[in-house]
Chains A and B, each alone.
Chain A
């Protein structure tokens, strides 16, 4: 059963704390993406990776970091520098960089305590 998994479903962050959101895909896709969704707004691109060991900043990369050490995995760290981290985070992948369709995971909701 191929797909994209994100964990956890809900995540709570204390002030000043870094947290890492997991994204794994077993679709053998080259490209992976992280988006943020806020109420009343569209999805905004945080970071994307076209291939292993490479990634680029999206439109709102400040306060976030990523790594792409394995093809299957693209974790996102929300650092303490991100002043407004409460949002719904979506991970996606596509078969190749620039492919027509991105496939999305179920999302992680991050809340600040």
Chain B
């Protein structure tokens, strides 16, 4: 029972263009969402988060959008850079308990010149 789904296992984008990574969730109790970035053989690093009271959060080139009615969030990276090539995981938590994060399966982003 996958509560957090990233249906696209991979995405390929040209440098300078926008990358859009998608994440869907099924648990309506989720109220906090995070995106992590992971390079091979390294641990994930936190990228950006959003609370369910917001529908958008922006940090430099990274913007996360939350559509609660559709139970969908997306991460926009613009402009995309080759160094953004990594696996991106979305994660969610419920009831303010961020000790128990539920992760998606990840999307591998490749940014080519």
Contact = CB atoms under 8 A, between A and B. Distances in A.
Interface stretch (A36-44, A66-74, A76-84): A36-44
Interface stretch (B11-19, B58-66, B67-75, B94-102): B94-102
A68 to B, nearest CB: 14
A110 interface: no
Contact of A43 (B32, B42, B44, B45): B44
Question: DSSP majority for the B interface?
Answer: loop
A66 B54 CA distance: 37
26 contacts: A33-B99, A40-B105, A41-B105, A42-B102, A43-B44, A43-B101, A44-B103, A45-B101, A48-B100, A50-B99, A58-B100, A59-B100, A90-B44, A91-B43, A97-B99, A98-B98, A100-B34, A100-B98, A101-B34, A102-B46, A103-B46, A104-B36, A104-B43, A104-B44, A104-B45, A106-B41
Interface of A: 4, 9, 31, 33, 35, 40-45, 48, 50, 56, 58-59, 90-92, 94, 97-107
